C-alpha cells in the first residue's frame, strides 16, 4: 500500500509540475523581480552607500552584513593604496577615539592604543603618506565649530572628517532638556561648516551608540539610551533635514552595538569587534569606489559596458529582430521538432527521428539566449539586484544536503541497464555531486577543511568520468572524426565563451571548462595518434593491449614532467595567444594550481575504463540484473575493503591541518575514495539495478548548473549570494534556486539546438566554418589585447 502511494505521489507531481510550466513561472518571477527592484532602487531614494552606513545584521557573532550589499574586508596594503597622500580627521569624544584606533589598525595592524586620554593623537604612515588625526572635542559646541571654521580657511583641508559627540553633554549637564536644545542649536551652526568641508572631501557624523545602563558607573548613570536616542534624533533632524545634505550619517555601528553592548566592560565603550565594524564600514564607504573590490559591492559605481558587451547586445537584438521578421512572414516550412517530453524528473526520448531544424530555429535559440544573457547581466553587472556575503555554519551546509538526499531517495527508479557505470548511473553520479558542490559554494563551506577536501574529491571524480567516458567512446566506437571533436568542444565551451563576452571575464575564470576541454584534447590526441587501437583491433592480438598501456604510460610521464617542471609549464602556457585562454589577472598561477591539483584524475579514469572493458570482454564480470559483479566471496571482500578505504580517506581529510598540506596529497589519494564509491555502488546487484531519477535529471545539466551559478545564483563572481527577496534568506534561496535551475535547463536545450546548426556533418562545410571561427577569434583577441608587449612574441 505504501509503495502504491509512493508511486502515485511521484506521478501526480510529474503530471502537474512540468519543466515547461516551471520555466513560465520563472519568467514571470524574473519580470516581477526586475520591476520591484528597479522601482525600489530608483524611486525609493536609497542606494548601497546608505545601506552600508545605516542598516545591517550580524551573521554569526562577528561578521557584519550590510543590508543589500557586500562589505569588503580591507587589508593593510589595500588601505594604504586607497588612503595614499590623504588626511583623515576624527573629531569627538572617547568613543570616536575608539573608532580612530580601529581605523588606523587597518592601516597598521601593529598599532597600539597608547595615546593619552582627553588629548589629540596623531598617526602617520610614511610609505603611503597617510595622515590620520584624532582631535579631542567631547562636545558639539563653539570649540568644535571654531576647529571646523579654521579648516575651511586652510589650504590643506582634511580629505575625510569623522565627527560625533553627545555623551559628555549629557553627563556634564545631567541630561537636561535645555542642554538638548542647545545641542541642536550648536549642531545647526556646525552643519554649515560641515557642508563646506564636504565640498573638498567626505564628511561623516557618527550617531551615538547605545549603552549598557546596568554596568555604567555612578557618574555616568544619567547617560541613558533614551537620552542618546533624543540626541540621535536631533542630529538626524539637523544634518538631514532636507534630504540633500552631503554630510553622511554613520548609523551601522550603532545598530551593531545594539546586539553587543552587553559585552562592554564599562557599559559605555564598545567591545573591539563592534568598533571594528564601524571602522570597516568607513573603509568601504571611502575605498570601494576607488579600488572596486569584487566582494565589496557597497557604495561602488559599476563601469559602463565595454565594446564587446555592446556588440554582443546588438548581435542578440539583431537575432531577435530576424526571428520576429521570419515569424511575421510565416516562414514555417521546417518546423522545429517537438522537444523531448521533459518533465520535472523524467526525460522521454522522442519516438521519431529528429527533423532538420527550420530557418527560424537558430534565431529563436539566439533570441532566448539573449534574454537569458540579459538576466545574467542584470544579476551580476548592473545595479539592480542586491548581493550579500557568504557565511559558513554547519547547518547551512548539512541541512540542505540532507534535504536533497531525501529527495534523491524519494525519486528512486529501476535502471534500464545494469552494467557498471551505465548512463543512468553516471548521470545520477554527476547530478548529486553537482548539487553537493552547489551547496558547498553558496554556504561558503570551503572554510571547513573536511568539507573542502571531500568536494575536491568530487571535482576529481568529474575528471575521472571525463577520462572514463571519452576513453570508452573512442575504444568502442573508434570515431575520431572532426565532427565528433567539434561537437564535444562546442557543447563544453559555448556557454562559457558567451559569458566571457557578456560578463567581461577571461576564459580561465570559469576554470572547470578549460580544465575538461584541455583533458578532452589530451585524451583525443593520445588515442588518435598512431597507432590507433580499437577494441576490435585489440581482440585480434593481445599485443595491442600492451600498446594501449604504453600509451597510457606515456601520458603519465607527460603529466609528471609538467607537474615537476613549473617553469616549463608556465613558459608554454604564457605564450600568446595561448595565454589568453589560461591567464587570470595576468598570471597563469590559477591554471597551474587547478591543473596540478587533479592531474592524475583523468588518467585514472582512462585506466579504469580500459581494465573494465577488457574484463567485460573476457566475461569476468556478472552484470545481469540483480547479480553481484563478482562471486560472493570476492564481492564481499571488495565491499568490505571499499567501505574501509572510503572511511579511511574521510578520517584523513578530517585530520588534515592545512589546505596546502591536504592539496599536496590529494592528487595521489583522491582515486581511493572514487574507486571505493564505484565498487560500493556497483558490486551489489540490487544497487546497480536502481538509480535516482532526481539526481540523474540534474546530472544531464550539470555543466550548465556549474557555470550558471557564477552569476545568477551566487553573485559578485561567486564571492557573494544573489538577493532577489530581501529580508528573507530562506525564501530568497528558494526563489533564486528555482529560476537558476530553469535557466540552466533552457541553456542546455539552446546549446543542443545551436550545435545542430553550427556544426555541419559535411567536412568541407565544417572546415570553412572553423576557418571563419579562427578569423573571428583573432579579431576578438586583437580587440582585447593589452597595450603591454605580448609574452613570447
The pLDDT value given to residue 282: 97
Report the share of the chain in percent with pLDDT over 90.
78
Position with higher pLDDT, 540 vs 192 = 192
In the set 265, 266, 479, 655, the catalytic residue is: 266
- Tally Cβ neighbours within 10 Å of residue 712: 22
Question: pLDDT digits over 441-475, tens only?
Answer: 999 999 999 999 999 999 999 999 999 999 999 99
State yes or no: pLDDT of 788 exceeds 60: no
Instruction: Give the integer Cα–Cα distance in Å for 190 and 170.
Output: 19
The pLDDT value given to residue 242: 65
Q: Is the pTM of this model over 0.85?
A: yes
Mean pLDDT, to the nearest integer, of 92-114?
93
| Burial label, 22 (beta-carbon count in 10 A; 0-12, 13-18, 19+) | middle
Strand partners, 249: 205
Strand partners, 91: 135, 163
In the set 269, 327, 487, 545, the catalytic residue is: 269
Question: pLDDT digits over 474-490, tens only?
Answer: 999 999 999 999 999 99
Tell me which residue of 742, 703, 756 sits closest to 365, measured CA to CA: 756
Strand, helix or coil at 293?
coil
Mean pLDDT of all residues in the chain?
A: 90
Instruction: Give the integer Cα–Cα distance in Å for 93 and 614.
Output: 81
Dihedrals phi, psi of 64, to nearest 5 degrees: -90, 130
The pLDDT value given to residue 785: 60
Position with higher pLDDT, 344 vs 715 = 715
Mean pLDDT, to the nearest integer, of 236-248?
83
The pLDDT value given to residue 352: 40
DSSP state of 574: T
In angstroms, how far is the first alpha carbon of the chain from the final one? Answer: 74
427 classed as catalytic: no
Instruction: Give the integer Cα–Cα distance in Å for 11 and 116.
Output: 76
Question: pLDDT digits over 290-332, tens only?
Answer: 999 999 999 988 889 999 999 999 999 999 999 999 888 876 5
266 classed as catalytic: yes
| C-alpha R_g of the chain | 32
> Cβ(127)–Cβ(133) under 8 Å?
no
State yes or no: pLDDT of 749 exceeds 60: yes
Show the DSSP H helices in 329-448 as ranges.
360-380, 394-410, 423-443
The pLDDT value given to residue 536: 83
In the set 94, 526, 574, 636, the catalytic residue is: 94
Least confident of 139-148, 491-500, 581-590, 782-791: 782-791
Question: pLDDT digits over 631-670, tens only?
Answer: 999 999 999 999 999 999 999 999 988 999 999 999 999 9
| Burial label, 629 (beta-carbon count in 10 A; 0-12, 13-18, 19+) | buried
Report the Cα 629 to chain-centroid distance in Å.
41
The pLDDT value given to residue 739: 97
The pLDDT value given to residue 483: 95
| Per-residue cell: 499 | 559569458
- Tally Cβ neighbours within 10 Å of residue 499: 22
Tell me which residue of 697, 689, 645 sits closest to 670, measured CA to CA: 645
The pLDDT value given to residue 776: 84
Question: pLDDT digits over 365-407, tens only?
Answer: 999 999 999 999 999 999 899 999 999 999 999 999 999 999 9
Amino acid at each position: 500500500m505504501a509503495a502504491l502511494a509512493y508511486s502515485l505521489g511521484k506521478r501526480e507531481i510529474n503530471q502537474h509540475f512540468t519543466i515547461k510550466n516551471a520555466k513560465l513561472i520563472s519568467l514571470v518571477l524574473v519580470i516581477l523581480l526586475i520591476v520591484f527592484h528597479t522601482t525600489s532602487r530608483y524611486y525609493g531614494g536609497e542606494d548601497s552607500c546608505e545601506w552600508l552606513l545605516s542598516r545591517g545584521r550580524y551573521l554569526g557573532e562577528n561578521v557584519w552584513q550590510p543590508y543589500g550589499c557586500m562589505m569588503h574586508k580591507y587589508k593593510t596594503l589595500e588601505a594604504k593604496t586607497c588612503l595614499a597622500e590623504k588626511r583623515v580627521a576624527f573629531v569627538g569624544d572617547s568613543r570616536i577615539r575608539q573608532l580612530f584606533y580601529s581605523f588606523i589598525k587597518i592601516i597598521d595592524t601593529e598599532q597600539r592604543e597608547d595615546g593619552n586620554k582627553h588629548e589629540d593623537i596623531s598617526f602617520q604612515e610614511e610609505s603611503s603618506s597617510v595622515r590620520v588625526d584624532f582631535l579631542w572635542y567631547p562636545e558639539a559646541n563653539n570649540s568644535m565649530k571654531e576647529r571646523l571654521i579654521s579648516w575651511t580657511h586652510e589650504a590643506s583641508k582634511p580629505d575625510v572628517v569623522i565627527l560625533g559627540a553627545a555623551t559628555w553633554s549629557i553627563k556634564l549637564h545631567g541630561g537636561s532638556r535645555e542642554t538638548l536644545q542647545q545641542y541642536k542649536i550648536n549642531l545647526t551652526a556646525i552643519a554649515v561648516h560641515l557642508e563646506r568641508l564636504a565640498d573638498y572631501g567626505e564628511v561623516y557624523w557618527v550617531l551615538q551608540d547605545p549603552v549598557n545602563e546596568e554596568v555604567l558607573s555612578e557618574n555616568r548613570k544619567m547617560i541613558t539610551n533614551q537620552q542618546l536616542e533624543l540626541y540621535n534624533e536631533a542630529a538626524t533632524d539637523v544634518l538631514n533635514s532636507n534630504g540633500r545634505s552631503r554630510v553622511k550619517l554613520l548609523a551601522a555601528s550603532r545598530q551593531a552595538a545594539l546586539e553587543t553592548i552587553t559585552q562592554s566592560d564599562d557599559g559605555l565603550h564598545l567591545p573591539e569587534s563592534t568598533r571594528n565594524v564601524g571602522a570597516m564600514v568607513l573603509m568601504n564607504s571611502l575605498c570601494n569606489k576607488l579600488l572596486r573590490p569584487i566582494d565589496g559591492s557597497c557604495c561602488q559605481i559599476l563601469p559602463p559596458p565595454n565594446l564587446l558587451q555592446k556588440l554582443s547586445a546588438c548581435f542578440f537584438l539583431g537575432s531577435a529582430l530576424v526571428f520576429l521578421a521570419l515569424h511575421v512572414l510565416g516562414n514555417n516550412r521546417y518546423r522545429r521538432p517537438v522537444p523531448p517530453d521533459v518533465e520535472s524528473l523524467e526525460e522521454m526520448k522522442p519516438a521519431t527521428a529528429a527533423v532538420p531544424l527550420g530557418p527560424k530555429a537558430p534565431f529563436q535559440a539566439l533570441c532566448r539566449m539573449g534574454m537569458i544573457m540579459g538576466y545574467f547581466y542584470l544579476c551580476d553587472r548592473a545595479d539592480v539586484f542586491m548581493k550579500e556575503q557568504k557565511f559558513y555554519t554547519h547547518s547551512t551546509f548539512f541541512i540542505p544536503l540532507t534535504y536533497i538526499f531525501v529527495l534523491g531517495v524519494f525519486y528512486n527508479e529501476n535502471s534500464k541497464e545494469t552494467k557498471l557505470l551505465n548512463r543512468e548511473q553516471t548521470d545520477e553520479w554527476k547530478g548529486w555531486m553537482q548539487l553537493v558542490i552547489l551547496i558547498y559554494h553558496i554556504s561558503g563551506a570551503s572554510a571547513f577543511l573536511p568539507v573542502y577536501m571531500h568536494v575536491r574529491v568530487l571535482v576529481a571524480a568529474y575528471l575521472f568520468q571525463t577520462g572514463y567516458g571519452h576513453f570508452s567512446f573512442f575504444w568502442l566506437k573508434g570515431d575520431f572524426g572532426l565532427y565528433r571533436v567539434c561537437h564535444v568542444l562546442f557543447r563544453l565551451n559555448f556557454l562559457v565563451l558567451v559569458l566571457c563576452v557578456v560578463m567581461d571575464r577571461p576564459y580561465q575564470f570559469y576554470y572547470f571548462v578549460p580544465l575538461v576541454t584541455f583533458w578532452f584534447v589530451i585524451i583525443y590526441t593520445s588515442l588518435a595518434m598512431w597507432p590507433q587501437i580499437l577494441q576490435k583491433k585489440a581482440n585480434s592480438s593481445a599485443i595491442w593491449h600492451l600498446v594501449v598501456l604504453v600509451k597510457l604510460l606515456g601520458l603519465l610521464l607527460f603529466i609528471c614532467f609538467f607537474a615537476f617542471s613549473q617553469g616549463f609549464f608556465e613558459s608554454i602556457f604564457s605564450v600568446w595567444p595561448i595565454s589568453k585562454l589560461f591567464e587570470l589577472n595576468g598570471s597563469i598561477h590559477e591554471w597551474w594550481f587547478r591543473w596540478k591539483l587533479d592531474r592524475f584524475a583523468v588518467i585514472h579514469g582512462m585506466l579504469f575504463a580500459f581494465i573494465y572493458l577488457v574484463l567485460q570482454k573476457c566475461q569476468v564480470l556478472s552484470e545481469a540484473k540483480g547479480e553481484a559483479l563478482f562471486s560472493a566471496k570476492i564481492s564481499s571482500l571488495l565491499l568490505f575493503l571499499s567501505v574501509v578505504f572510503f572511511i579511511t580517506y574521510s578520517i584523513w581529510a578530517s585530520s588534515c591541518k592545512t589546505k596546502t598540506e591536504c592539496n599536496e596529497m590529494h592528487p595521489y589519494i583522491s582515486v581511493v575514495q572514487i574507486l571505493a564509491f564505484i565498487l560500493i555502488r556497483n558490486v551489489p546487484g540490487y544497487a546497480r539495478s536502481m538509480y535516482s531519477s532526481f539526481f540523474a535529471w540534474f546530472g544531464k545539466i550539470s555543466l550548465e548548473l556549474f557555470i550558471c551559478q557564477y552569476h545568477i545564483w551566487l553573485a559578485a563572481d561567486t564571492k557573494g549570494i544573489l538577493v532577489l527577496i530581501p529580508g528573507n534568506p530562506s525564501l530568497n534561496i528558494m526563489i533564486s534556486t528555482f529560476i537558476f535551475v530553469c535557466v540552466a535547463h533552457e541553456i542546455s536545450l539552446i546549446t543542443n539546438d545551436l550545435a545542430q546548426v553550427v556544426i555541419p556533418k559535411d567536412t568541407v562545410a565544417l572546415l570553412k566554418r572553423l576557418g571563419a571561427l579562427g578569423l573571428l577569434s583573432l579579431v576578438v583577441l586583437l580587440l582585447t589585447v593589452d597595450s603591454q608587449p605580448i609574452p613570447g612574441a
